[in-house]
Structure 1
């Protein structure tokens, strides 16, 4: 009955109300802001695109819409400029950057899905596709990687993983890694 995309519309409206506040946009300004937000929502990684462990390209909703992932041009952050000093274009960009910051954090929290401590969560596996949580990632920028090495703790549960990203290998706690939900297991 359309519950999945209706949840996406609800999420968009929820964060849009919060980031716009009392700002009044013209029709054209609102259209620009919504098209940027649409790109933001359709850039989220869903699962691994291929079974090749060397490939870190994710499947996104944009692949179903236009056949490839979405990209954006680098833009200057206007988060530090007081709102009363912004011109109209900067106000639209500020709305988009606020939306990205709030929505991306919430999306990653939903991917991690904390469970009660009484139930065991599945350990990360080698070659799992993960999103690396980092602060100050630009809009439409998801830091993705493949787990190449695991470091279990004293209890046998994975605590730290080494992840291969496009920028090299990094070592992160599993609290900073979000496993994509439909990743396949590789031999």
Structure 2
């Protein structure tokens, strides 16, 4: 196998992986339910990925929601997200929440790690 053939094969595998990751894994992170069924709405402080169709998934920006803009029905339709590259406004359908609110705290007392247990001698 020549170096060019090997490179093309590796590039094909890499692109295939990221396409599947975007199509299957990231979309599964978002709950797909009818708008009539009440679900948890995005909230200020939520950690999200800014999904962009023209960029590979590893290039999507990570940010925190700083503002929400609800429609007439008080359901947020647009969010303002702060990233390391600035602040962006995006429709909520282009945001992918990453953590549940209980998982966002990194305080030691909120840790889900097992507590230290003393052994009895």
Would you say 1:90 and 2:12 are equivalent positions?
Answer: no
Alignment of 1:18-33 (within 5 A): none
- 1:112-153: CA deviation from partner (whole Å, max 9, x where unpaired): 111123311211111110011112434644421000011000
Unaligned runs of 5+ in 1: 1-24, 26-85
Report what 1:106 is aligned to.
24
C-alpha distance in structure 2 between counterparts of 1:152 and 1:164, whole Å: 18
CA-CA distance at 1:101 after TM superposition: 1.6
More helix by share: 1
Q: Which runs of 5+ in 2 are unaligned?
A: 106-121
Which residue of 2 is the match for residue 174 of structure 1? 92
Give the aligned length.
102
Residue pair 2:63, 2:82 contacting (<8 A) in 1 also: yes
Q: Which structure features the higher share of strand residues?
A: 2
**Structure 1 match to 2:63:** 145
State the TM-score, normalized to the length of structure 2. Answer: 0.72
Task: Output the CA distance in 2 between the equivalents of 1:152 and 1:140.
Answer: 29
CA distance in 2, matches of 1:139, 1:123: 23
Per-residue deviation, residues 29-84 of structure 1 (Å, max 9, x unmatched)? xxxxxxxxxxxxxxxxxxxxxxxxxxxxxxxxxxxxxxxxxxxxxxxxxxxxxxxx
Q: CA RMSD in A?
A: 2.3
* Cα displacement (A) at 1:89: 1.3
CA distance in 2, matches of 1:117, 1:128: 20
